[in-house]
Structure 1
Amino acid sequence: MNSIKTTTRAAILLGSLLIGASSALAETVLHRGNSGEPQTLDQAQTSINIEAFIVKDLYEGLTIYDAAGKIVPGAAESWTLSDDGTVYTFKLRENAKWSDGTPVTAEDFVFSYQRVEDPKTAAKYANILYPIKNAEKINKGEAKLEELGVKAVDAKTLEVTLERATPFFLELLAHQTALPVSKASVEKNGADFVKPGVMVSNGAYKLEAHVPNDSLTVVKNPNFWDAANTKIDKVIFYPIDDQAASVRRFEAKEMDLAYNFSADQLDRLRKSYGEQVHVSPTLATYYYTFDTREAPYNDARVRRALSMAVDRDFLAKEIYSGSQIPSYSMVPPGMGSYGEPAKADFATLSQLDREDEAMKLMKEAGYGEGGKPLSIEIRYNTNPNHERVATAVADMWKTTFGANVSLVNLDVASHYGYLQEGGKFNVARAGWVADYADAENFLALSVSTNKTFNYSKFNNPEFDALMKKSYDEKDPAARNKILHEAETILMKEQPVAPFLTQADLWLVSNRVKGWQDNAANEHLSRFLSVSE
């Protein structure tokens, strides 16, 4: 009897230990749909938000966006600013470490920022750090790397000197371009520093695996300074650019988050999933860009005519089910410091009057009915919404001008890679999401020296001069006036034709806690949790 009781007690004890071990070992996993394969995980080379979602889970900048989309301390626990607004002194967290256990130092940030501005790196977003003293000169080969205005005062103190006071500088530091790299890792591993098993990161997660076009897995970084408050153990990103497939996987409970679903599904999804459907207005512009290097798109009359013939109300209501709003300005509304954007002069006309004016301009330019035939190729990145927009715009141009319009699509990485590398085109779809809440972020895309994002290759000396003047103007009201003048030129010339002010469309499973819609569209996995 005693032996039986002892065995039973032992079995019960063993069972309870196994249950305890099982619950302790149970991983919490977040499955994130990410609507495309990243071109790169090198923060100096990233350029699109689906890359930013990943690298911001892996790395932490001096500042970050919190769950509500507000700027808060990141790797820097605090900072001070000089009276003239040009010198920031950042105090790094004493317990900030890399995933290999080594300390994050001020020298890592000096190395990282120099790397971004080094012309040899050819960083796509080098201009993000141009407010730092000598950054632009270094990037253009006009100054030495060591002249960059960043200095390691000591291991945990970083001093950053700016060219001029920059009100939005703390927001720039939360951009993926300003994320640090481990100096030791990059010097040791070179280009391989981004690979699984090699990457050393300082964020809430570290890279575990990457199977291109299938999945990318990050796991909790035990050396992260706030690891105790990081609730999700593993995040799997799925690069699905097929929106229908993404929705199906969400509905099958295979994914907890689905980004950028097809807007024509909005009503159906709302009926089925209610509050799990999120439509979040954002500082983003959906636009078409014209290649101004060749006829007929080097003629502002042709560009204006094509832009005027596009019925933006139709695009917003019929294609996007009212989830986006018609736009006639490059800068989206809602930019608090900027006020009302400078809209195209035809914004107040009815669509019929716009089309009449468009036909006159096109005839004046010698194209369309009675003139040279108009053949247009529209390029867009693979996506049902973009395809529907392209098809609708093609029909509008055929109806208004008798144009012969064809469509070409590529996956998101290839599409933007082609544009950024200067590939020739007629008309191309693009979108811009604010990197920081300032009108300059949208207008600077069309400065002639912006080799990466000035897809149209627009070159207008008056526009360039106004943008240059805006950087030197310290009075906010006077600066806004200059930026409005620049946008007025841009909207008159129409190298870019804004169509819509965007909203971010997300499906968020009710398993996910801590989600907050925000205009910055920032959703770090470390601020989320998953309930079973």
Structure 2
Amino acid sequence: MHPGPYALAAVGRSPFRRDNLIGESFFVGSTIWRNGMMVKNKFVIGAIGILAAAAVVLAGCNSQSKGSSAASTSSTASQQKTLKILVSAEIPQLDSAKSYDVVSDSQIFNFQEGLYKLGKKDAVVPAIAQSQPTVSKDGLTYTIKLKKDAAWSNGAPVTAQDFVFAWRRAVDPKTKSQNATKLFSLANAEEINAGKKPLTDLGVKAVGDDTLQVKLAIANPYFLRELTGTNYFPQNGKFVNKVGAKYGTAAQYVLADGPFIIKDWNGTSDKWSFVKNPHYYDAKQVKLTKVDVSVVTNAATQAQTFDQKTADITPVSGEFIEKYAKDPAYHRISSYGTSNVEIDTTSEGHPELGNVNFRRALFYAVDRKALTDQVLKDGSVPAVGYLAPGALRNPANGKDVNTELGTLTYYSKAKARKYLALAKKELGKDKFTLTLKGSDTDAGKRTTEYLQSTFQNALPGVTVDVQNIPAKSLFASLMSYNFQLDTGGWEAEADPSVLLQQFTTGYTHDHGGFSNKQYDQLVKDAQGKDAANAQQRYTDLKDAQKILLDQAVVVPLYHSATNLLINTQLKGVQTHAFGQTYDFSRAYFK
């Protein structure tokens, strides 16, 4: 779970991934805004209806705006080797085996690599792997050769056993990884995580130092893309065992096999750095010597820091979007994820949240258009479903799932009050007090204030108290499985079934405790017996989303947009639709 646009994880982005390539424009998404102009890009739809957006090169234009200082460079570009960026959230942790939030992921990607990574047009390209895998005819066995010059930042070679160690550790129930399910594509992973089989039964083995053999539970057309994720990254067993429980808790307790090494992060730092890794196999191509990162949550401070030329990339929000809208340094990126209100349906002392009619009252009380147009004003669009437009399409006709279901997330105060009246009758209670938590960023505060107002105005007898807290605390609240209302959102995934899986019974990230046998079966079928049947899989997922919205398990708010100011001399940064947010390994200043 990711705290929506409120914990703008990497350079202020919402926790949703996307992009495209348009010449020298900055980047990305199905819709790119540049200097106030909207440019449409193509969707590439796979056999089972997923959106595969293109990869992007982040490159600012060279001209400067006459009306603003924002486009100014932060130093003499030709001499600049340090990139300075602002982010809106602190790092929760840096253990790749445990990572489940976009804030942690965005930083881990800077100092670690797995077998594969995303390249241009989101193509999966070799990283630690030498080449594309050899796949058996039945699609169950992958054989992967490793680069012989891949090394850790302490000089030790990256070996096949490092992957075996890391993957076993990730699914080991003793590790308590909140994202162990990401590895359930591997044979026996689910049974091992449930404590029913030994770690040695996991479908991965080292054949010498430089060959990895992987066996899957079922053929998975998304597996190669899954291998680009942080949970599949290697770990040096000798180092991990040496530092023990401290692994991932501070900069000195991680090893790097990627382009940079993290420095100056002690577990709670609001500033840290990445320095060039001399042991990286492609170190000659890394132009930057350092990336300085600072956490700044105040929108005015972010803009001021950029104007003062002490930041090269910063989020921009609120009234500052209008100020910089025509500046060459300003860029808006549309997303394919959704920000929501999460509801704990089993919250202790709040039986109303387990009542479907009360949840429906909350669901229909939100005027999503007012939220996006009058409150956020950042290019976000009202949610039309839990799955964002383009995330799931009918393979027979190309229509979006939300179009075929009909817009289910509309605003109706009359419906909201009708369902509230039913809930009051069923619960035998007229007054309710709830706590709504959100991020402590400016956007987070505006969102929770709006929701507080709209819930209280639309729903007589409902009082909402607001708490705005750091992203790290918001993650902890969700994972406590004992909250009331929390704001958050899931990043876009290559496979939309992963997003719907979050609400299956007993799933690690079923934060609200929702349980529905029909829903569970639909998601299970989509990921299992119907995985190779594109049309039936689409129907399974469409029906699952319908149940999710009908039961008002989650209140979709909007499909996000990210707004940034970027030094116009910065070139060569890649960003991607899925997985890695920003890749600075080829970045440079012109």
Q: How many residues align?
A: 499
String of CA shifts for 1:271-313, please: whole Å, max 9, x gaps.
4xx2322211122110001110141010111111111110011
Q: Does 1:329 align with 2:388?
A: no
Q: Does 1:243 align with 2:296?
A: no
Letter in 1 for 2:256: S
For the 8 Å contact 1:68–1:517, the answer to whether it is kept is: no
Could you tell me how far 1:100 is from its partner in structure 2?
1.6
CA distance in 2 between counterparts of 1:367 and 1:135 reads 46
CA distance in 2 between counterparts of 1:112 and 1:467 reads 28
Could you tell me how far 1:363 is from its partner in structure 2?
0.7
What secondary structure sits across from 2:543 in the alignment?
helix
Cα 1:416–1:296 shift into 2, 3 Å: same
Which shows bigger deviation, 112-121 or 299-308? 299-308
Q: Partner residue of 1:373?
A: 431
For the 8 Å contact 2:456–2:463, the answer to whether it is kept is: yes
Letter in 2 for 1:264: E
CA distance in 1 between counterparts of 2:330 and 2:576 reads 14
Could you tell me how far 1:466 is from its partner in structure 2?
1.3
Cα 1:399–1:345 shift into 2, 3 Å: farther
Q: Partner residue of 1:438?
A: 495
What secondary structure sits across from 1:77 in the alignment?
coil
CA distance in 2 between counterparts of 1:113 and 1:322 reads 39
Q: Partner residue of 1:17?
A: none
Match of 1:447 among 491, 494, 504: 504
Q: Does 1:479 align with 2:532?
A: no
What secondary structure sits across from 2:502 in the alignment?
helix
CA distance in 2 between counterparts of 1:409 and 1:502 reads 19
Q: Partner residue of 1:189?
A: 243
Cα 1:28–1:401 shift into 2, 3 Å: same
Which shows bigger deviation, 313-322 or 192-201? 192-201
**Aligned ranges for residues 122-201 of structure 1 at < 5 Å?**
122-194=176-248, 195-201=250-256
Could you tell me how far 1:61 is from its partner in structure 2?
0.8
Cα 1:95–1:348 shift into 2, 3 Å: closer
Could you tell me how far 1:68 is from its partner in structure 2?
5.3
Q: Does 1:389 align with 2:447?
A: yes
String of CA shifts for 1:334-364, please: whole Å, max 9, x gaps.
226665234797836974xx22122111111
Match of 2:175 among 112, 117, 121: 121
CA distance in 1 between counterparts of 2:585 and 2:220 reads 29
CA distance in 1 between counterparts of 2:141 and 2:269 reads 43
CA distance in 1 between counterparts of 2:288 and 2:527 reads 42
What secondary structure sits across from 2:468 in the alignment?
strand
CA distance in 1 between counterparts of 2:81 and 2:469 reads 35
CA distance in 2 between counterparts of 1:131 and 1:487 reads 23
Q: Partner residue of 2:414?
A: 356
Cα 1:118–1:467 shift into 2, 3 Å: same
Letter in 1 for 2:179: Y
Which shows bigger deviation, 276-285 or 216-225? 276-285
Cα 1:27–1:146 shift into 2, 3 Å: farther
Q: Does 1:299 align with 2:355?
A: yes
Q: Partner residue of 2:107?
A: 54
Q: Partner residue of 1:4?
A: none
Cα 1:504–1:517 shift into 2, 3 Å: farther
CA distance in 2 between counterparts of 1:210 and 1:47 reads 19
TM-score scaled to structure 2, two decimals? Answer: 0.80
Could you tell me how far 1:113 is from its partner in structure 2?
0.4
Letter in 1 for 2:550: K
String of CA shifts for 1:465-514, please: whole Å, max 9, x gaps.
11112221221221121111111111111111111111222222113111
Q: Partner residue of 1:225?
A: 281
CA distance in 2 between counterparts of 1:463 and 1:399 reads 33
Q: Partner residue of 1:65?
A: 118
Q: Partner residue of 1:42?
A: 95
What secondary structure sits across from 1:76 in the alignment?
coil
Letter in 1 for 2:517: P
Q: Does 1:347 align with 2:402?
A: no
CA distance in 1 between counterparts of 2:319 and 2:574 reads 24
What secondary structure sits across from 1:463 in the alignment?
helix
Q: Does 1:501 align with 2:559?
A: yes
Could you tell me how far 1:27 is from its partner in structure 2?
7.1
Q: Does 1:29 align with 2:82?
A: yes
Q: Partner residue of 1:412?
A: 471
Letter in 2 for 1:414: S
CA distance in 2 between counterparts of 1:379 and 1:335 reads 27
Letter in 2 for 1:401: L
Could you tell me how far 1:207 is from its partner in structure 2?
2.4
What secondary structure sits across from 1:413 in the alignment?
helix
What secondary structure sits across from 2:473 in the alignment?
helix
For the 8 Å contact 2:339–2:558, the answer to whether it is kept is: yes
For the 8 Å contact 2:362–2:455, the answer to whether it is kept is: yes
Does 1 or 2 have the higher relative contact order (CA < 8 Å, sep 6+)?
A: 2
CA distance in 2 between counterparts of 1:348 and 1:174 reads 34
Cα 1:346–1:27 shift into 2, 3 Å: closer
Match of 1:82 among 122, 126, 136: 136
Could you tell me how far 1:33 is from its partner in structure 2?
1.4
String of CA shifts for 1:411-450, please: whole Å, max 9, x gaps.
100111121122x22211011112x311112101111221
Could you tell me how far 1:119 is from its partner in structure 2?
0.6
CA distance in 2 between counterparts of 1:456 and 1:465 reads 19
For the 8 Å contact 2:384–2:409, the answer to whether it is kept is: no
Q: Does 1:216 align with 2:272?
A: yes
TM-score scaled to structure 1, two decimals? Answer: 0.88
Could you tell me how far 1:199 is from its partner in structure 2?
3.1
Runs of 5+ unmatched residues, structure 1: 1-22
Could you tell me how far 1:530 is from its partner in structure 2?
2.5
For the 8 Å contact 1:367–1:374, the answer to whether it is kept is: no
CA distance in 1 between counterparts of 2:542 and 2:178 reads 26
Which shows bigger deviation, 493-502 or 467-476? 467-476
What secondary structure sits across from 2:95 in the alignment?
coil
What secondary structure sits across from 1:332 in the alignment?
coil
Q: Partner residue of 1:269?
A: 324
What secondary structure sits across from 1:248 in the alignment?
helix
CA distance in 2 between counterparts of 1:61 and 1:416 reads 25
CA distance in 2 between counterparts of 1:234 and 1:516 reads 17
CA distance in 2 between counterparts of 1:170 and 1:283 reads 21
What secondary structure sits across from 2:214 in the alignment?
strand
What secondary structure sits across from 2:536 in the alignment?
helix
Letter in 1 for 2:358: V
Letter in 2 for 1:441: V
For the 8 Å contact 1:337–1:438, the answer to whether it is kept is: no
Runs of 5+ unmatched residues, structure 2: 1-75
C-alpha RMSD of the superposition: 2.4
Letter in 2 for 1:499: L
For the 8 Å contact 2:342–2:485, the answer to whether it is kept is: yes
CA distance in 2 between counterparts of 1:299 and 1:530 reads 56
